[in-house]
Amino acid sequence: MSRLRFNITMSLDGYVAGPNQSLKHPLGEGAEHLHDWAVRTRAFREIHGDRGGGEAGVNDDIIRETFDNIGATIMGRNMFGGGPGPWRVEPWTGWWGKNPPFHTPVFVLTHHTRSPLEMEGGTRFIFVTDGIETALAQAKKAAGKKDVSLGGGANVAQQYMAAGLIDEMELHVVPQLLGGGERLFKNLDDAKVRLDPTRTVEGPGVTHLKYRVLK
């Protein structure tokens, strides 16, 4: 059965993005080094079309595992980018260029309708306006027997956590204090999120914490 797997990098004080996110600062101010641990790996560079080296080792293994057996992805409007509100006449096509690293259908949660966007390499962005459960149903159908990956941002992750729809969660915690921005574990109100730790791995500049989400 297809699982919903959530992976995200988080600062030591619990933020997944800094304050004042914008086109100039997509991860928020002060958070530009949040994902340095991943960018340095060989797997990350290969996924983004760069065959020119990169580090092997623990972090590289984690990146490869993150992308393994993924048949579809879900993300929020902030992760896809382009700013809030209605889509522009020449709409935003993402941060990743003509050949994004997903190579599968990607379901983008938004309040504003838009036709699907075909990219190179098999990535197809589908814009979903009627909620997280509809997006998940479409993603699971597209993924078939493979898993669905849940990307950011924080608000989207909170909605899926509160609804009890996440099956597996991995937090990549870096020794950085952002002091403000988008905190992952908020807006959960009375949601009883129960986590069963299944693995802790230390890599250069990051600790990987993996959990099974108890239903």
Which residue shows structure tokens 């899926």? 160
What is the residue type of 87? W
Cβ neighbours of residue 29 closer than 8 Å, sequence gap 6 or more: 18, 19, 20
CB atoms < 10 A from the CB of 156, how many? 22
**Strand-pair partners of 15:** 183
First to last CA, the chain: 15
Q: Tell me the pLDDT tens digit for each residue of 139-192.
A: 999 999 999 999 988 999 999 999 999 999 999 999 999 999 999 999 898 888
Look at residue 41 and give its three-state secondary structure.
strand
Look at residue 57 and give its three-state secondary structure.
coil
Strand ranges in 18-167 using DSSP code E only, listed in sequence order: 70-76, 105-109, 117-118, 124-128, 147-150
pLDDT digit of tens for each residue in the chain (215 aa)? 799 999 999 999 999 999 988 878 888 899 999 999 999 999 999 988 877 789 999 999 999 999 999 999 999 998 999 888 999 888 899 999 999 999 999 999 999 999 999 999 999 999 999 999 999 999 999 999 999 999 988 999 999 999 999 999 999 999 999 999 999 999 898 888 999 999 999 999 999 999 999 98
Q: Which domains does the chain have, with CATH numbers?
A: 4-86+98-214 (3.40.430.10)
* C-alpha R_g of the chain: 17
